[in-house]
Amino acid sequence: MKPVELSKETKQDLIGSLKEYFARERDEELSDFQAAAVLAFILETVGPHIYNQAVADAHALMTDRLDDLYGLEKRPR
């Protein structure tokens, strides 16, 4: 699977969020480098699972919608 690529802005936002989380929840200060490493780890290990679940959810939704099409059939008299 192709690695997740984030825009520079999104990556910076997520790094900031990770730094805030570690400071608030773990009372640890992370450098940008450390937070980027945590983000890379999450994207590499957790990202594929989240992606696959999103694909499965989208598939289920689309299947339900396609099944709804049968309700539009005209029945011969």
* pLDDT tens, position by position, 40-57: 999 999 999 999 999 999
Asked whether residue 3 is domain-assigned, the answer is no
Confirm if 19 and 30 have CB atoms less than 8 A apart. yes
Asked whether residue 64 is domain-assigned, the answer is yes
Confirm if 4 and 45 have CB atoms less than 8 A apart. no
Confirm if 15 and 35 have CB atoms less than 8 A apart. yes
Asked whether residue 65 is domain-assigned, the answer is yes
pLDDT value at residue 60: 94
| Alpha-helical segments (H) within 2-74 | 8-26, 32-45, 47-69
Domain count, the chain: 1
Residue 50 belongs to what domain range?
Answer: 8-72
pTM for this prediction: 0.75
